[in-house]
Amino acid sequence: MPPSNTGQVYFPITDQMVGPIRPSLLLLLGAVTCVLLIACTNLTNLMLARSAIWRTNIAVRLAFGAQRVHLLRQWLTESILLAIGGGLTGILIAIWGMDILKAWNPGYIPRLYSGSIDVWAMGFTLTL
């Protein structure tokens, strides 16, 4: 038997969670996406410039008799260390940014204090 209508009004949960600041959150999402794309583009340009320098470096090392396996191992080690360092720096910035946002508290961000940084999401991002 369906429940009787008791005169209650139901609202979507998204309206209850974000309320009237939904357009601001969507604008913030768009801005963060643009900044992320700009950062990825800059990183790609830096990697391309670095590969141009590495090309001559590798040619000189191969001319002196270095083995390709050793060069590949050195390149992979350097790339992995840079990636781990960048990932850990990003995690620290995220933690500090969340603390700063909670301390700043403009007052109109719903559920600000219930937000936290998800360890599983950070681990997945670091793995990538």
Nearest by Cα to 99 from 86, 122, 118, 115: 115
Predicted confidence (pLDDT) at residue 107 exceeds the cutoff of 80: no
Tell me the whole-structure pTM to 2 decimals. Answer: 0.60
Domain ranges of the chain: 20-66, 67-128
The distance from CA 106 to its chain's CA centroid, rounded to whole angstroms, is 24
- CA separation for the pair 125, 90 (Å, rounded): 10
Categorize the per-residue pLDDT at 5 as very low, low, confident or very high, splitting at 50, 70 and 90: low
